[in-house]
Structure 1
Amino acid sequence: MTVTFFSMFFGAGNLIFPAFVGAQAGIATPAAALGFIVSAVGLPVLGVLAVSSAGGFEQLANRVSQRFSLVLGLAIILTIGPCFAIPRTATTSFEMAVVPFSSGTGIPTWVWQLAYSLLFFALSYVVAQHPEKLSNALGKVMGPLLIALIVVLFISCVAIGGSSPTAPMGDYGDNQMARGFLDGYQTMDLLAALYFGIVISVNISQLGVDSPAQNRRETGYAGLGTGVLLVVIYAALSYVGVVSGSITTVDPAHDTGATVLTNLTQTMFGPVGTAFVGLVFIIACFNVCTGLISTCGTYFQRHFPRMAGLRMTYRIWSAVFAVFSFVVSNAGLSAIIKVSVPVLAALYPIAITLVALALVHRVFSVHFPRVYFWTVLCVGLTALLDCIASLADVFGGSLPWLDTALAYLPLHQFQLGWLLPAVIGLIIGIVHSRISPMPNTVGMAE
């Protein structure tokens, strides 16, 4: 089950980000990689544990309010699903695996992409039709194959080595650990962790675990096992990035982690290396795409079984997401990404706040139940204003008054300006809980 969970988490971003960290941080990679691992692994694992202990994401979000639970759930599902992550899986794998070999064929790139994405989403849809059997498709075949490919790449780097590690550059010129922590956000695995538990829970039930408490416990174990595996993989890929950067210097302003991997494989293996890294990307992206389609389809079938008088089954919902993602991946993905990044950045502080409160629920939050509402409210408002300012910048505009106001928040320059509002909300929640105890704390106590 751990490998299944790993396969659902580990996509193209998880491959390219740690490699890019190593290529930029150079000799300071240990500190940078540690910061990256804390946010890219630590937060998602804590998210799995928090959701498991609460009995599910909805039970956790209901501690704020039922309406909040529905709104946040929809926002997360649509953001990590058809509006961003699912289309990106096809586009990224296409650029890594097909584009290098399609030039000179006389066939326009958009035709290749159309054909590739059609096949990609068709196969993902077929596999996603049996979410209870994902452990067979992902855990027993695709996941181990992906891990084996990464191991081969790592061993090759160890054997070949490279020049001395470079000096830190770009964003990693200083404060490498803090920069690595912030870049760990880009995997967005904490948001995914809040809902991947749905599919894992179904798989665990299929193994004969009927007790809800035992099911939650097994889901937590799977999350911890995934965390250990991710730490090892991220450390290996960071080293791969260091070796690649010592062989071919990267341009932090224009290159990406994909460039880092391509430079390395081309240097070591030539065209075969390019095909190799392309295969790795296809497997990683296919795993994540299938897991996301399954997660989104399960969520919408549960919450919206009927639309406009029509019965919406899991099969129909998963088809809707596959088709929508196919269209987006071929038309306008770059615009979707530009808009989605500020939205994702706004959702992350809210998710971190919920997870933190859930982890101390038994010893703290349950005694001050209103801290959920007030803390999330203060963090959410701050995140929303930050999102508006970022979206204005994306569309070529600016809101100087808002930028100035947000700049007064401590740690705003590190994208942590929401911490002070979180503390304020926590204090208000404690005081409010003492002054006016909640008459009904259903779902608050474990």
Structure 2
Amino acid sequence: MREDSEEPLAANTTRERLDIRSRVLITFTFFSMFFGAANLIFPPFLGAQAGSATPLAAVGFIISAVGLPVLGVLAVSSAGGFEYLADRVSPRFAIVLALAIILTIGPCFAIPRTATTSFEMMVVPFTTGIPTWITQLIYSAVFFILSFLLAQRPEILSKTLGRFMGPLLLVMIAVLFVACLIIPHDAFPAPSGDYAQLQLSRGFLDGYQTMDLLAALYFGIVISANVRQMGITSVSQNRRETGYAGLGTGILLVAIYGALAFIGMVSGSITPVDPATDTGATVLTNLSHSAFGPVGTAFLGVIFVVACFNVCTGLISTCGTFFHSHFPTVAGRPVSYRVWSAIFAAFSFLVSNAGLNTIIKVSVPVLSALYPIAIVLVVLSLVHGVFSSRFPRVYFWAVLLAGIVSIVNCCAELIALLGVSFGWLDALVGAIPFNDLQIGWLIPAFIGVVVGVADSLARDRRRA
């Protein structure tokens, strides 16, 4: 029998590597866990604003929203896990950063956002006249209960997300894309809003909002469990198969982001957007209504529900697995995976009812603190064999200096959200080179590498 026609083996059946069909299945699972509300919203909004300059803006977005997450998967796979990677800075740092990332991509921001966004797209348009808080309470309760139940078997997510939900989502997006190819529209507009200038860098920064780099550092936990369930018991081969899934997911994401950006271009040429009030959801709603009429609203709502449910289930699995592995007992009492995942689902249910705007506003400063640290770790890991392993102190110093700048920016943005301003803090933030482009951490990270090399050489001489 040919390799690509083999059926996935049953659990506990050992094999040396996955066949092509199994790899495709794992890739679709990985894609389904990544692709949620932000992935649907930001590329169309980019296309609607960037207009004729969309290709340049899309390149920037793809670098940060696809390139960095794929590199993150490869870096974590080669290191044997994110904690082994973060341990190169220090063990205490590893656990603190791990908790910060898990809570960010989990119950504090990303998980609640899946329920809130899908609710606004699927339920709100059809429940006018009913108090929103009632419908949101009911919807989010059902949403999280179903997601919790599906997440109870994280090692078999490939049988649900990979076989059904991921392909279904791709088909729905393909329908929208085909509609854009045949629907009449005006010429693509000139860049406007945030994309009026510096389209490449603006696209790069908007890629942060997907949170995919942070998610990539831990989604490998669930993907690795699925690979092991398919019979790959070798640790090295398991890492290799996880890396293949990451690369395949990256290819899918590039294609989908390109299609969604084109959808945004077409939508923006039909109905111009107001960057101050509209969102990517508005862009998609305008296009689906123009292409399909009133039924387009329902069609779009289904797309959002499928995408958000996929990501929510993957995130609950990831967070539950992490906390069960690190905190199997609390106050001397055992806490199972089921209990941890229930806690995250319940907490996310509460946060989701606080409102989407609040979640997004608070998440932006937190991401500005975590992303640079994650980028520095990933880049250093990718050159570990030829550089970082020879000068191990570069991890500590580069992360420290980049982290200081990132945390200062985060504090300044959070204070601004409260309507408070400190002159000295504003002056400090404004004095950091390239901080207006939100890459003020770049030079400190480079200085940290130089200091780390010198520190490593000095320690080697003392030991000699």
TM-score, structure 2 normalization: 0.93
Which residue number corresponds to residue 110 of structure 1?
133
Please identify, of 251-260 and 307-316, the stretch whose mean Cα deviation from structure 2 is larger. 307-316
Give the C-alpha shift of residue 395 in structure 1: 0.7
Which residue number corresponds to residue 237 of structure 1?
260
Q: Is the 8 A contact 2:116 2:140 kept in 1?
A: yes
Give the C-alpha shift of residue 408 in structure 1: 2.1
- Deviations for 1:19-46, whole angstroms, at most 9, x for unmatched residues? 0000001111111111111111000000
- Deviations for 1:203-260, whole angstroms, at most 9, x for unmatched residues? 0001111111111111111000000000000000000000000000100111000000
- Deviations for 1:303-336, whole angstroms, at most 9, x for unmatched residues? 0111122211000000000011111111365434
Give the C-alpha shift of residue 161 in structure 1: 3.9
Please identify, of 6-15 and 334-343, the stretch whose mean Cα deviation from structure 2 is larger. 334-343
* Aligned counterparts of 2:116 and 2:333: Cα–Cα separation in 1: 32
Which residue number corresponds to residue 429 of structure 1?
452
Please identify, of 113-122 and 177-186, the stretch whose mean Cα deviation from structure 2 is larger. 177-186
Q: 1:183 to 1:426 in 2, by over 3 A?
A: same
Q: 1:307 to 1:202 in 2, by over 3 A?
A: same
Structure 2 counterpart of 1:75, one-letter code: A
Structure 2 counterpart of 1:59, one-letter code: Y
Which residue number corresponds to residue 8 of structure 2?
none
Give the C-alpha shift of residue 194 in structure 1: 0.3
Please identify, of 46-55 and 306-315, the stretch whose mean Cα deviation from structure 2 is larger. 306-315
CA RMSD of aligned residues (A): 1.3
* Aligned counterparts of 1:375 and 1:141: Cα–Cα separation in 2: 43
Q: Is the 8 A contact 2:188 2:268 kept in 1?
A: yes
* Aligned counterparts of 1:26 and 1:332: Cα–Cα separation in 2: 30
Structure 1 counterpart of 2:30, one-letter code: F
Q: Which of the numbers 117, 128, 133 marks the counterpart of 2:151?
A: 128
Structure 2 counterpart of 1:52, one-letter code: S
Secondary structure class of the residue paired with 2:185? coil
- 1:377 is the counterpart of 2:400: yes
* Aligned counterparts of 1:14 and 1:437: Cα–Cα separation in 2: 46
- Deviations for 1:381-411, whole angstroms, at most 9, x for unmatched residues? 1111111111110111112212212222221
Secondary structure class of the residue paired with 2:300? helix
* Aligned counterparts of 1:353 and 1:151: Cα–Cα separation in 2: 35
Give the C-alpha shift of residue 175 in structure 1: 1.4
Which residue number corresponds to residue 315 of structure 1?
338
Q: Is the 8 A contact 1:369 1:438 kept in 2?
A: no
* Aligned counterparts of 1:114 and 1:270: Cα–Cα separation in 2: 29
Please identify, of 392-401 and 281-290, the stretch whose mean Cα deviation from structure 2 is larger. 392-401
Structure 2 counterpart of 1:71, one-letter code: V
Which residue number corresponds to residue 269 of structure 1?
292
Q: Which of the numbers 25, 28, 41 marks the counterpart of 2:53?
A: 28
Q: Is the 8 A contact 1:114 1:330 kept in 2?
A: yes
- 1:301 is the counterpart of 2:321: no
> Gaps spanning 5+ residues in structure 2: where?
1-25
Alignment of 1:163-178 (within 5 A): 163-178=186-201
Q: Is the 8 A contact 1:86 1:289 kept in 2?
A: yes
Structure 2 counterpart of 1:90, one-letter code: A
Q: Is the 8 A contact 2:320 2:338 kept in 1?
A: yes
Q: Which of the numbers 363, 366, 370 marks the counterpart of 1:340?
A: 363
Alignment of 1:278-289 (within 5 A): 278-289=301-312
Q: Is the 8 A contact 2:224 2:239 kept in 1?
A: yes
Which residue number corresponds to residue 443 of structure 1?
none
* Aligned counterparts of 2:56 and 2:351: Cα–Cα separation in 1: 38
- Deviations for 1:95-138, whole angstroms, at most 9, x for unmatched residues? 0000000003xx31111111101100000000000001100110
Q: Is the 8 A contact 1:154 1:236 kept in 2?
A: yes
Secondary structure class of the residue paired with 1:364? helix
> Gaps spanning 5+ residues in structure 1: where?
441-446
* Aligned counterparts of 1:115 and 1:290: Cα–Cα separation in 2: 18
Structure 2 counterpart of 1:65, one-letter code: S
Which residue number corresponds to residue 62 of structure 1?
87
Which residue number corresponds to residue 3 of structure 2?
none
* Aligned counterparts of 2:361 and 2:44: Cα–Cα separation in 1: 22
* Aligned counterparts of 1:203 and 1:146: Cα–Cα separation in 2: 21
Secondary structure class of the residue paired with 1:63? coil
Q: 1:204 to 1:421 in 2, by over 3 A?
A: same
Alignment of 1:213-252 (within 5 A): 213-252=236-275
TM-score, structure 1 normalization: 0.96
Secondary structure class of the residue paired with 1:367? coil
Which residue number corresponds to residue 50 of structure 1?
75
Which residue number corresponds to residue 444 of structure 1?
none
Which residue number corresponds to residue 206 of structure 1?
229
Please identify, of 6-15 and 171-180, the stretch whose mean Cα deviation from structure 2 is larger. 171-180
